[in-house]
Structure 1
């Protein structure tokens, strides 16, 4: 590299982590970010897929964080919708065990006329079980007990009371973790089979670490506390910092889906001199003397070699290790090769009417079926969740009279569902929803099938030895693994962003923060506050 050139940071992956790193670098330093995205679309799993004006949010992404830094970052990219002064001149936020009001500009963007806007949306999710819709998360209410029936309710309450006294020690598996917090009967009714559907393995084969990271403080006791606060009118705040993520009742959402925000960020990066290169697949990474030196890239115009000052990697860890030259030690490669993932498919169905809720049109959907998600726990079907894109944002649907629903399937790349032709997969999906009374097949107007490999890093396989890989990667002074796949950690979108922000903080301050990056989302409050209180 010539001395006159700006230093550069190569960033592998154009998802939330990679684009956050690029934006932080280009707005806070003279380092030129070069984002390499293997796909033809940005956003990673946080992308928005446009099908004839009907937009699909892969996996569903609520824009909520316990980090003020992330919340403010999002609002800088997309301002919150304006509200009439008589309606809501201020929005209540709650964080750090305090409550306050923030002003909302009545003259702010109107979603009816502006696309660059962040909506404020209500969160509604329920569970479809035995033909009934249960609250999600489950609430120990009279309604829930009536739905379950007297006998099952007594068994659930008795089982919970017993497990509060006779807890499983030590907690080794996810099964142990869930039973200790919900009781054996509730676990068997609602958690055991659904979790196996999602991950493809029984709960007793998944480490308890997964529960500690993804569920944390959620329990029957927490649900009771949340229900009490809801009755007192204290649970609807936008920032809700002391609320478990699964209990959030209000969130922000880009008008046209999550991909809209990440495409806007990419535009900001390129406008400031950074680069975002699509269909650029990293095929090799050369290192020498404890530093990454060169990244080899396959592009539409041929092979390229990029010299590296810093490397941010959100590519799957197993691919990163496999691409190193010289090769990583055999034990490290063995662990990386053994890392497992759960892959993901969405089948989008455009409907004239939805049978669930009573022949509902798109215009009636929110008043009759207000859910963002419905978790499908009916036996005999493989669909895991239903998304109603109209309810995430009414602008996700080209014709507001239509219902735009996404069926989510948790699969393994190459298995029977993954390998089905699109037309066969659509038929399979329609038959499943018709069988459980959600749709009539004749109501389907259009469809789209999307496959997303390596959507969810798994905490089984060789993961119990992952520390060997992590310690090896720590030996490269200018390498920053970030994001969900880059760290093989089931992070939410905001966690992935925080890892990128911390990496840039470290580069600009001259501090070695690589160990701290690995601590994001390992304990309560996501480790979002450093002990000295400086961030977020």
Structure 2
């Protein structure tokens, strides 16, 4: 660690993801507090990192940089400004009506900028493409067929007049779309993601992620676009937003830049050094114990502790005070969903571009494809070429895709060998006609633990854990796992920003930090 002024207060931050790094940057910007970030892995960015493989880059889970918060948007632009004048990048975006392959200087040496990207996500169901979110276009009804269309229409009308009590995510969806559309486009996919049926998931997950999305919202959006060229982004349901910004080399580029800025401004970001113990005296964190890469244990004093640790790990690490048995049990049993991505380098895809969107070599334009087919386990498919051409080493001659699977650590999926899992994944995409296995050039498998905090089980007793932690004056729980909330990246950043605001003013009330992404202005969905 760097030598610092002993009179300067110190904040220890657990985790170098969006929340932790935002917290460190904000502390340096708005206070005289010295931040030290400890990251367990060797990577920067948490699940927002960019994985490098053989010259190609993977965005784990896909991260659209869009926020209804002006503060977050301004913050991103401060770190990595938006690409300005017309250039090669603009042509890549298709703003001239065409898309070209990236040529020129090594992307590692280009300016760190954000690109404006068109959000194109579709659903693959019945071996056909549907808009995502589901639209009310003629093509949708043609793909569904006459019987399914009539059934869906009757089901929606029924749902308008006969509302179900929103005691589950299933009822939440049915109230907004009707039972037939729910069964077609939500039931199976939701179970793929969470491993439990939507009837056993809480409606508050839907309220957090898709509160404003419904058949009515889609109709309203279509009418607005018919009569107005401009849209007020604060009034548009986030799932209907059509553009976002994106770092040229993926989300990890931004967070690696932030980590560099933190170090340059006098803070510290230390990787491969997990926080193992949190020492508390008189309801204040006084120090933490970390494991160094050399295997030594070291105690680090702190005046503030910002934790993006999973609540399960946080509670287990507390020393110096008694943790009530029910708090231990609730934290221990909090459910998570883990994540596996298979990267496939392809010569080409078997599916063709049937849209009106002009693309390089007439490739499909999608960033994401949601796989709703019932006979495969894959949940979502990313085409990295369309997130940013700079993620692909040979953009002109290869397509770099990511196959997303949801699982639970220790289950059969998790324990499969890389070879067997990759072959299974290739077989599934072949089965539904998206690729030809002979076109696969290379592959890699990436596992991510605790990617998605889940909303069932002991989650409904989480307030007891929050009440216990809130009594520790200088402890601030931030980020997705730090609050056990399925936050988007901007929400995780906001938890850190609000925490630093409170630290700077000496306000120990944690309620506003916990309320990020529960208040209406923070709602967003993928």
Match of 2:62 in 1: 60
Indicate whether 1:489 and 2:482 are aligned: no
Q: How does 1:3-152 map to 2 (within 5 A)?
A: 4-84=6-86, 114-152=110-148
Which one has a larger percent helix, Structure 1 or Structure 2? 2
- Structure 1 residues 36, 4: closer, same or farther in 2, change over 3 A? closer
Contact 1:365 1:403 in 2 (8 A): no
**Aligned-partner Cα distance in 1 for 2:306–2:76:** 21
Match of 2:220 in 1: 225
Indicate whether 1:462 and 2:438 are aligned: no
Match of 1:377 in 2: 372
Contact 1:503 1:513 in 2 (8 A): no
Aligned residue among 395, 400, 419 for 2:415: 419
| Residue 182 of structure 1: how far off its partner (Å) | 0.4
| Residue 231 of structure 1: how far off its partner (Å) | 2.9
Q: Which runs of 5+ in 1 are unaligned?
A: 89-108, 529-536
Match of 1:320 in 2: 314
Match of 1:248 in 2: 241
Contact 1:350 1:402 in 2 (8 A): yes
- Structure 1 residues 371, 38: closer, same or farther in 2, change over 3 A? same
Contact 1:65 1:241 in 2 (8 A): no
Q: How does 1:353-432 map to 2 (within 5 A)?
A: 353-357=348-352, 367-400=362-395, 401-432=397-428
Secondary structure of the structure 2 residue equivalent to 1:418: helix
Indicate whether 1:310 and 2:304 are aligned: yes
Match of 2:99 in 1: none
Contact 1:56 1:396 in 2 (8 A): yes
| Residue 113 of structure 1: how far off its partner (Å) | 7.1
Secondary structure of the structure 2 residue equivalent to 1:453: strand
Match of 2:286 in 1: 293
Contact 1:174 1:208 in 2 (8 A): yes
Secondary structure of the structure 1 residue equivalent to 2:335: strand
Match of 2:254 in 1: 261
| Residue 241 of structure 1: how far off its partner (Å) | 2.2
How does the TM-score come out when normalised to structure 2?
A: 0.92
Secondary structure of the structure 2 residue equivalent to 1:286: strand
Question: Which range is displaced more, 484-493 or 349-358?
Answer: 349-358
Match of 1:350 in 2: 345
Secondary structure of the structure 1 residue equivalent to 2:415: coil
Secondary structure of the structure 2 residue equivalent to 1:348: strand
| Residue 140 of structure 1: how far off its partner (Å) | 1.5
Match of 1:534 in 2: none
**Aligned-partner Cα distance in 2 for 1:21–1:247:** 30
Q: Deviations over 1:420-475 (max 9, x none)?
A: 11111111111111111010101011111100000000011201100000000000
- Structure 1 residues 166, 358: closer, same or farther in 2, change over 3 A? closer
| Residue 2 of structure 1: how far off its partner (Å) | 10
Give 4+ residue runs of structure 1 displaced > 6 Å after superposition. Answer: 109-113
**Aligned-partner Cα distance in 2 for 1:349–1:263:** 25
How does the TM-score come out when normalised to structure 1?
A: 0.90
- Structure 1 residues 284, 111: closer, same or farther in 2, change over 3 A? closer
Size of the aligned set, in residue pairs, is 502
Contact 1:115 1:256 in 2 (8 A): no
Indicate whether 1:452 and 2:448 are aligned: yes
Q: Which runs of 5+ in 2 are unaligned?
A: 91-104
Contact 1:282 1:297 in 2 (8 A): yes
| Residue 329 of structure 1: how far off its partner (Å) | 0.9
